[in-house]
Amino acid sequence: MKQLFKKIIYKLARRKLVIGFDKYCTEKRGRVLLYNKTEEYFLLGLLQDFSHSNNWESYEMGKILNQLGFVVDILDRTATMSDVEKIKDQYDLFIGLGVGDSGRYFSEIAKRVPRAIKVLYAMGPEPDLSNIVTKARHDYFRARHPDIKVQDRRLILNVDIKNLYNNVDHIIALGNEFSLGSYRHLGKPIHKLYLSSYPGLSISKEDFIKKDKKKFLYFGGNGNITKGLDLVLEVFAKHPDLDLYIGAPQTEEDFNVFADPIISNSLNIHRLGFVDVTGDLFHNITLECGYVILPSSSEGCATSVTTCMRRGLVPVVTWEAGIEDVENFGYLIKEGTVRGVEDTIDFISKTTREEFLRKTEETYKESFKYTTQSFSRSFEDIIKNIMKI
SS3 call for 125? coil
Angle (deg, nearest 10), helices 338-349 and 229-236? 50
Residues of the chain with CATH 3.40.50.2000: 205-369
Q: Which helix (H) or strand (E) holds 170?
A: strand 170-173
Q: With CA atoms as reference, report the closest residue to 161 among 188, 129, 207, 184.
A: 129
Classified as helix, coil or strand, 205 is helix
Q: How confident is the model at residue 49 (pLDDT cuts 50, 70, 90)?
A: low
Q: Is there a contact between 311 and 203 (Cβ–Cβ < 8 Å)?
A: yes
Confidence band, pLDDT 50/70/90 cuts, at residue 208: very high
Q: Which residues contact 154 (CB under 8 A, 6 or more apart)?
A: 130, 134, 222, 223, 226, 298
**pLDDT top residue among 249 and 140:** 140
Segment 67-77 mean pLDDT:
96
Count of CB atoms within 10 A of residue 222's CB? 13
Specify the pairing of strand 117-121 against strand 170-173: parallel
pLDDT for residue 301: 97
Residue 9: is its pLDDT beyond 50? no
- Tell me which of 1.10.30, 1.10.357, 3.40.50, 3.30.460 is the CATH number of domain 11-196+371-387: 3.40.50
- pLDDT category, 159, cuts 50, 70, 90? confident
Is the pLDDT at 84 greater than 70? The verdict is: yes
Residue 74 phi/psi, 5° resolution?
-125, 120
pLDDT of 154 higher than 50: yes
The CB density around residue 11, as the number of other CB atoms within 10 Å, is 10
Beta partners for residue 71, in sequence order:
31
- pLDDT at residue 213 above 70? yes
- Number of neighbours of residue 331 by Cβ within 10 angstroms: 19
Q: Are 191 and 172 in contact (CB under 8 A)?
A: yes
Q: How far apart are CA 173 and CA 153, in angstroms?
A: 22
Local structure of residue 313 (DSSP, 8 states) = P
The pLDDT mean for the chain works out to: 92
- Would you say residue 11 has pLDDT above 80? no
Radius of gyration of the chain measured on its C-alpha atoms: 21
Q: Cα(51)–Cα(266) distance, rounded to whole angstroms?
A: 29
What does residue 201 show for φ and ψ, rounded to 5 degrees? -90, 130
174 closest CA partner among 226, 227, 121: 121
Flag whether pLDDT at 243 surpasses 70. Answer: yes
Say if residue 13's pLDDT is above 80. no
pLDDT digits (tens, 9 = 90+) for 293-339: 999 999 999 999 999 999 999 999 999 999 999 999 999 999 999 99
Fold of 205-369: Rossmann fold (3.40.50)
